[in-house]
Amino acid sequence: MFNPDESTVPMQTTTIKRIIEENYRIKTFELDTSLSCSKPGQFAMVWVPRVGERPMSIGSGAPLSFTVAKVGPVSEALHKLKKGDLFSFRGPFGNGFNFSSKTYKKILLVGGGYGVVPLSFLAEEAKKK
């Protein structure tokens, strides 16, 4: 659920359960926690100590995962993390996609590049309904 004052949402820290190297500059971090209240299209603020904090799309709520492209200081620091390292985030934020299986019998998802991350989460949720 959207919180207009994101600074009041507490930081959560967990460990990295698995890292999937999608290609030479994109990694998926599967965490040792779930964020079952998250919806497709929402994001979290991911924090790296002494580097910074950046918004990242939630790739899955259970287990919680983020797919990160190496494009700046925060993502470069994340790419140096290993399985078992600590991972800090706040969220979820944003309203997410408004999807109801009662309204739509079939859906078509079109996306490319980094936009595929929230759409893959939406596809997984749609299959459950």
CATH code of the domain containing 97: 2.40.30.10
Query: Does 52 or 128 have the greater pLDDT score?
Result: 52
What was the pLDDT predicted at 86? 97
Q: Which domain holds residue 18?
A: 6-128
Please check whether residue 15 lies inside any domain of the structure. Answer: yes
Which backbone phi and psi does 118 adopt, to 5 degrees? -65, -25
What was the pLDDT predicted at 20? 97
pLDDT band of residue 6 (cuts 50, 70, 90) is: low
Number of separate domains in the chain:
1
What was the pLDDT predicted at 49? 95
Please check whether residue 113 lies inside any domain of the structure. Answer: yes
Please check whether residue 1 lies inside any domain of the structure. Answer: no
* Stretch among 2-16, 27-41, 42-56, 74-88 having the lowest mean pLDDT: 2-16
pLDDT band of residue 1 (cuts 50, 70, 90) is: very low
Q: Is the pLDDT of residue 99 over 90?
A: no
How many Cα atoms within 13 Å fall on the side-chain side of residue 32? 10
Can you tell me the distance from the alpha carbon of 105 to that of 74, in angstroms, rounded to the nearest whole number?
40
* Stretch among 9-18, 21-30, 83-92, 109-118 having the lowest mean pLDDT: 109-118
Strand partners, 29: 19, 66
